[in-house]
Structure formats: C-alpha cells, structure tokens
Structure 1
C-alpha cells in the first residue's frame, strides 16, 4: 500500500471515529488491512495536519486541521506574540519563550494548532513556554520562525 492510500484511510478513520491515541489509530489501521509503524503514523499525522483537540467531555481526540484553519492559527500566533512576547531563547534542542504573565498557555495552543514539523512537543506555564524540538538545528529554525512572525507583526 502506498502513502497516498494509507493517508486516505487515516483521514477516513479520524473523520469517522473518536481516536484518542496513536495506538488506537494503529489498531484501526491494522483492522483495515494497513501495516504501519508508529513513526510512519507520526509522519502521516504531520503531513495531514492531524492535531489533538478537546472534546466536550474534556478528553482529547485526533482531528484534521484544514489549511485555512492553520493559516488562521498562525495569524493568531503572530498577533499574540506581538501582544505578549518578552524573550525567545534557545537552550540546545529546547526553545524557551517568555511572555506576559498568564498568556503562555494561549500562545502554546496556537503553536500546537499550527503544528510546525520541527516541534516534538510544548509545555506551558504562566509566562513561559517550553518547546521541545528534535535537534539543535530544528530549535534554531523554530527560533527564526518565531522571530519572523514577531517582526512581521511589528
């Protein structure tokens, strides 16, 4: 099975089911005759703009973000950086973003929605965002992206 066929099935499964974990997605894929590894599914998730979103009951599920929604999230990210960014710094493969007090979690949500491929995960405090990347080089890319977003909005 090629990548396009697998991604079509993934899109279909996520649209038709409530899937909370990659393991659940892998199980559903297997039941549909698709053999894939977790790393393949992770790459497909980035390609398809799959993110975790909150359900009404507070649990998380996988959803597909459309391109327009991603552009809107990037616009919101740009605007929120303009309003609250205090400092960006890189520490190895980690990027720290310092914001005005109480705004880090909002900005982190926009970062997660934009779903940059360099970012492995985010953690938000009250005024600090920790962005974990896959390497020092990717952390540099993330810093440049955020600096450009901030400059574009200034």
Structure 2
C-alpha cells in the first residue's frame, strides 16, 4: 500500500469525523488494510491540514480543516491568557489545547521557545522574560480576547 493510498484512506476517515485520537485512526486504517504507526498518522494529519475540533456530540474529532495559517489560535478555542514573571498559560476549551499548541508552534513566533499542551491548558515558554508582556499582548491580539492580570507579589 502506498503513502498516497494511505493518505486517501485517511482523508475519507477525516471526512466522516470518525476518530478522536490518532490511535483510533491507526486502528481504522488497519481495518482498511493500512499499517501505520501513530507518528506516521501524525505526519499525515499535518500534511493533510487536519484539525481536531468538536464534533456534533461535543467530543473532539479529527477532521479535514483549513490549511495551516500563520494567524494562530482564535477566541473560539482559547478562553483566557494569563502570565506570571516567567511563563504564559493559555486556557482552552476542553480537548483543544494540543491543537492550540500546534498552531502556536507553527507561528514560528520569535518570542516563543516552545509549548507544552494538556487537555485544556497550554504552557508557553517565552524566549525572554524581558519580553513576556509583549508576547502576551501579541497572543491576546491574535486570539482576540482580553487579558487576565498577573498575580501580584505579596
């Protein structure tokens, strides 16, 4: 089975919104005769422009989406942005943190070293704490939401 055929099968699965995890996609592909590891599926998803979004039943599913943009996440997925003197935390709708983390990584923002995503929280590691305020303002503007005030030292 070729890469092209595997991706076509994956595209069909994504069009149906049948899986909420990459492991489920691997299983569904195997049922169609394609052996693929999670890392292969992950690369294929990125190549196809797939996104993880809420399905009609409120459960996150992978589906074909718009091509990756350089705009970053939106207010539909990010609910708040907070920071302290060292780190930035973005809260997301449940199940959306990994997608937001990927979008932030794809931005190639000069002030972001990297991100770490859970289910509904993304930790953003800034390149410099001296520019953390600028980074937070930029992220808030890209997302289109207001900022939470940082905690005050006692």
- TM-score calculated relative to the size of structure 1: 0.54
Counterpart position of 1:135: none
Shift of 1:23: 2.5
- Where does the alignment leave 5 or more consecutive residues of structure 2 unmatched? 107-113, 128-133, 143-154
Higher relative helix content:
1
Deviation at 1:61, TM superposition (A): 1.0
Match runs of 1:2-151 below 5 Å = 2-67=2-67, 70-71=68-69, 74=72, 76=74, 89=86, 96-98=87-89, 104-105=91-92, 111-112=100-101, 114=103, 116=105, 121-122=117-118, 124=120, 129-131=122-124, 147=135, 150=138
Segments of 5+ residues of structure 1 without an aligned counterpart are 90-95, 132-138
Does the 8 Å CA contact 2:97/2:117 hold for their aligned counterparts?
Answer: no
Deviation readout 1:22-78 (Å, 9 max, x if unpaired): 2321122112111111121122122223222112322111112212xx43852748x
How many residues get paired? 127
